[in-house]
Structure 1
Amino acid sequence: MSESTSDIIERNRLAVEAHFHNENPENVDKAVELYTDDIVWEAPARGQVYRSGAEVKEAYLNIFKTTHITKMTLLREVVTETSVFTDHISEAVVVGDKMPNLPYPIGTKVRTRLVHMFEMRDGKIAREIAYEIWREADSGVDVDDVPADAVEVPL
Structure 2
Amino acid sequence: MTTTDTPKLTAQEIVERNLRVVAAHFHNENPKDIDKAIDLYGDTIVWEVPARGVLLRDKGQVREAYLKIFDSYQIHKMTAVRRFGAGNFVTDDSIAELTLVGDVANNVPNCPFPAGTEVSMRIVHIFELDDDGKIIRENGYELWRRLDGPIHDDIPSDAHVETF
TM over 0.5: yes
TM-score (normalised: structure 1): 0.95
Q: Quick check: 1:87 aligned with 2:93?
A: yes
Name the aligned partner's letter for residue 110 of structure 1: V
How many residues in Structure 1 have an aligned counterpart in Structure 2? 154
- 2:9 aligned residue: 3
1:72-127, Cα deviation, whole Å (9 max, x unpaired): 11111111221000100000000122111111111111000010000111211110
- 2:139 aligned residue: 129
Structure 1 pair 60–114 and aligned structure 2 pair: CA distance change class (3 A) = same
Identity %: 48
Q: Counterparts in 2 of 1:21-60, with a 5 A limit?
A: 21-60=27-66
Q: Show structure 1 runs of 4+ deviating over 3 A.
A: none
1:22-41, Cα deviation, whole Å (9 max, x unpaired): 00000100000000001000
- 1:145 aligned residue: 154
1:18-64, Cα deviation, whole Å (9 max, x unpaired): 00000000010000000000100000110000001111101101101
Instruction: Pick from 93, 100, 112 the counterpart of residue 109 of structure 2.
Output: 100
- 1:17 aligned residue: 23
Alpha-carbon distance between aligned partners in 2 of 1:115 and 1:88, rounded to the nearest angstrom: 6
Alpha-carbon distance between aligned partners in 2 of 1:100 and 1:129, rounded to the nearest angstrom: 15
| Structure of larger gyration radius | 2
CA offset at residue 154 of structure 1?
6.6
Alpha-carbon distance between aligned partners in 2 of 1:23 and 1:127, rounded to the nearest angstrom: 16
Q: After alignment, is 73-82 or 107-116 more displaced?
A: 73-82
Q: Quick check: 1:68 aligned with 2:74?
A: yes
Alpha-carbon distance between aligned partners in 1 of 2:163 and 2:14, rounded to the nearest angstrom: 25
CA RMSD in angstroms, aligned pairs only: 1.1
TM-score (normalised: structure 2): 0.90
Structure 1: tracts of 5 or more residues without a match: none
